[in-house]
Amino acid sequence: MNRYITFLLLITAVDATAQDYNAPYSIYGVGDLEQRFYDRSIGMANSSLSLVSTPMYQFLKNPASLSGLERSNVYVNMALTGRTVSYAGDAINEGNRTTRDFSIKSFSVATKLNKYWASSIGFMPVSYAGYRYTATKTIEGSNDTYAGDYEGDGGLYNVYWNNALALGKHFSVGVRSSFIFGSLNLTETLSGEALAASIVTKTRDYYNNFRFEFGSIYRANITSNWQFALGGKFTTKTKLNSDRTVTITEGTTVIKEDQEVKSDAFSLPVSYDAGISLTHKNRLTFSVDYNYQSWTDLKQRGYGYSLIDSRRLSAGIQFSNQVEAWGRRYEKNYIQAGFFTNNSYLRVRNTPINEIGGSIGYGSYLSGSLFYGLSVEAGRRGTIVNGLIKENYVQGTLTLSLREFLFSKGHKYD
């Protein structure tokens, strides 16, 4: 019971934390895309596509991974992240040089229903929006100019149901059925001598639709000490349903309220993932993942930017410190390191917005069934050429994995 209370207190604390999220490039598309799956592998640069969940914890990246869980248990996974970003570029000064935020990145509950079938439900973000800028605006048919203040926020989120099947000892398949939803909001505030009061226009774009991910993992022994695994994942193209509403006020006078207007459709592309890993005596693991997303085929572009194919390559290593007790082997703690490079889906002012970074991680037990992981990631995104902005960030993540026995008529193991 105390462990469940710990989870609830952490969620409450995060909800009560003030956010200061600021991401200049989230003004484009549907915001900054979240490419990480916040589980035990985050210290390995999230290189876990070919890794199978174990009787103690779950991996989230590949839908097929759940097949490695143990029956008669329920698994709860939660991740909390704090992030600090410093900016460089022509538009940066002392007042907007740094920002930080703290949030829940994922939450899931899983169990293995029988010898072959495992299932979970969960929540994770898809994208974030948070930006603010000022500009001068003119009104057609008038020589007057107005000071414009623009502020954007919101994001898309994903509620999913994951199912995995173990087809024998070496092969697993899985499907994650997701409902994506959320809104991107823009507030424009115009002021000037020609206006009796400020004009505020609030635009809300709400998106939603279903999306599906299909995954598989094959693993086998090379020798008595070495095991290899191959993982693959295919994510379907998804056209997001879109509804736009506009509210306009002048001072205290409401001119329009939640009026529906024509909106632009937005699609998420086909995505392909592949991964390979090598494990020595279940202690030392090397893994490499590759992701490709076909944004160019969608032909989506806007003023000053276009969407291009993205590619992410990551590699990680993990050492598991294991001990023998009561005739069984247990993991006492682990250490991790990883590296990644990401060619993002954005080209702004004919310049790709790319990212590079590395991570380290450590994990151990808080109790016999509550496991924690700590990781730190540092990276760089963007550039200062062509008047753009470069982001240098440091991100810390706490993952918590809780395993509890389910009622099973006195049988806790197969």
* Cα-based angle 81, 84, 88 (whole degrees, multiple of 5): 145
Residue 8, Ramachandran bin (φ over 0: left; ψ between -120 and 50: alpha; else beta):
alpha
Quickly state the pLDDT bin for 323 (edges 50, 70, 90). Answer: confident
Distance CA 352, CA 380 (A): 13
Residue 44, phi then psi, degrees to nearest 5? -100, 25
68 close to 52: Cβ distance less than 8 angstroms: yes
String of b and e for 377-387 (b: at least 16 CB within 10 Å)? bebebbbeeee
Distance CA 165, CA 192 (A): 63
Summarize the confidence of residues 80-104 as an average pLDDT.
86
Summarize the confidence of residues 229-247 as an average pLDDT.
95
Residue 202 covered by a domain: yes
| Per-residue confidence (pLDDT) for residue 8, from 0 to 100 | 44
Residue-number span of the structural domain to which 307 is assigned: 2-405
Distance CA 140, CA 130 (A): 29
| Per-residue confidence (pLDDT) for residue 12, from 0 to 100 | 42
Residue 295 covered by a domain: yes
Residue 411 covered by a domain: no
Residue 177 has which token pair?
A: 């059925």
Helix (H) or strand (E) segment spanning residue 11: helix 2-15
Residue 206 covered by a domain: yes
Burial of 123 (0-12, 13-18, 19+ CB in 10 A): middle
Domain count, the chain: 1
Q: Nearest CA to 380 among 362, 393, 368?
A: 393
Residue 410 covered by a domain: no
Q: Which residue has the higher pLDDT, 164 or 91?
A: 164
Reply yes or no on whether the pLDDT at 23 is more than 50. yes
Helix (H) or strand (E) segment spanning residue 14: helix 2-15
> Per residue in 29-87, pLDDT tens?
888 999 899 999 999 999 999 999 988 889 999 999 999 998 888 999 999 999 999 99
Q: What string of DSSP letters covers 103-154?
A: EEEEEEEEEE-SSSEEEEEEEEEEEEEEEEEEEEEE-TT---EEEEEEEEEE
Distance CA 13, CA 405 (A): 27
Lowest mean pLDDT among 133-142, 297-306, 331-340: 133-142
380 close to 355: Cβ distance less than 8 angstroms: yes
Distances (CA, A) of 285 to 67, 167, 321, 336: 19, 24, 12, 9
Quickly state the pLDDT bin for 322 (edges 50, 70, 90). Answer: confident
Name 144's bridge partners: none
Residue 166 covered by a domain: yes
| Per-residue confidence (pLDDT) for residue 221, from 0 to 100 | 94
* Cα-based angle 235, 240, 243 (whole degrees, multiple of 5): 165
Residue 242 covered by a domain: yes
Lowest mean pLDDT among 31-40, 133-142, 195-204, 265-274: 133-142
* DSSP reduced 3-state for 270: coil
| Per-residue confidence (pLDDT) for residue 253, from 0 to 100 | 84
Name 104's bridge partners: 80
| Per-residue confidence (pLDDT) for residue 141, from 0 to 100 | 64
Say which CATH number the domain at 192 has.
Answer: 2.40.160.60
Residue 140 has which token pair?
A: 């057609």
41 close to 51: Cβ distance less than 8 angstroms: yes
Name 363's bridge partners: 334, 373
Lowest mean pLDDT among 58-72, 226-240, 398-412: 398-412
Distances (CA, A) of 282 to 101, 228, 292: 36, 11, 29
Q: What percentage of residues in the chain have a pLDDT greater than 90? A: 60
Quickly state the pLDDT bin for 340 (edges 50, 70, 90). Answer: very high
Helix (H) or strand (E) segment spanning residue 193: none
* DSSP reduced 3-state for 67: helix
Residue 24 covered by a domain: yes
Q: How many angstroms separate the most distant Cα atoms in the chain?
A: 84
